[in-house]
Amino acid sequence: MDKKSFKRLSISDRFSEVRKQERIALIPFVMAGDPDLKTSGQILLSLQEAGADIIELGIPYSDPLADGPVLQAAAARAISTGTTPSKVLEMIAALSGNLSTPLVLFTYSNPLLSYGFEKFCKDAANSGAAGLVVPDLPLEEAENLSTIAEKNGLDLILLVAPTSPLERIEKIANRSKGFTYLVSVTGVTGERSVMDDRVQGLVRKLKEMSSIPVSIGFGISSAKQIKEVKNFGADGAIVGSALVKRIASSIAGQECKEASQFCSELSQATNIY
């Protein structure tokens, strides 16, 4: 990994900009290396142009416990083409002069342990990443990684599930950096037609517990649902499986166009009024 440090946009600054524009943040998710790393880089730039406020980038892993079938298949395709964490970071670094949208890396505990927490956070920061999500990292073990991430200028974003006890939710809200990731449904990622009835109340409770922004993910797949997220009082909407499915079903060479069109459609639904 090149030791050169690249300028990163702050996640909190991006949320501040979005609030001033009276919008919620659109946070699309894509899997690095699907269909290949070169195309992934082009997709990131196309999402930026289409209105993405923050982009979540999955690092493929062979046992993604939080992922539904769409993201599992995307990870398998990426791994089959030789995508590794270090190659993902190299791809991000190569975009440093063109990608200004804050980038959040989504990975799992085992790849981080294999890479080394200190080395991964340093390399991720040097590549230009702004944040990190580790869905299978227990709250009790997050403090160590959060300290390492913060030292390197990365926000460790923690997840809240609809079934989490209030005491645990408060701890997560007070320890998460950048934003709190509120999971809209129980179970794994994937498109859903409805969100859990508890989500709106959880947004309100999280807002009472902490001033950090709240973004809703898992199951958000349409402009209609983004409007619902907006009405719940959340600060951001994360769209993953629906976008990844469209990229996967695209004609070869049309992945960026498909991603851009869908992102643009979703972006139009983010205005608060």
Write out the H or E segment, with its range, that includes residue 259.
Answer: helix 255-267
235 is catalytic: no
* Set 34, 53, 56, 235: catalytic member: 56
Residues 6 or more apart in contact with residue 48 via CB below 8 angstroms? 55, 99, 100, 101
Provide the b/e sequence for 160-188 (b: ≥16 CB within 10 Å): bbbebeeeebbbbbebbbbbbbbbbbeeb
* Set 34, 53, 67, 255: catalytic member: 67
For CA atoms 247, 72, 154, 219, give the dihedral sign: positive
Looking up tokens 């956070």 gives 121
Phi, psi for 106 (deg, rounded to 5): -110, 115
Burial of 43 (0-12, 13-18, 19+ CB in 10 A): buried
67 is catalytic: yes
Phi, psi for 202 (deg, rounded to 5): -70, -35
* 3-class secondary-structure state, position 91: helix
d(CA 272, CA 196) in angstroms, rounded, equals 22
Catalytic site positions: 56, 67
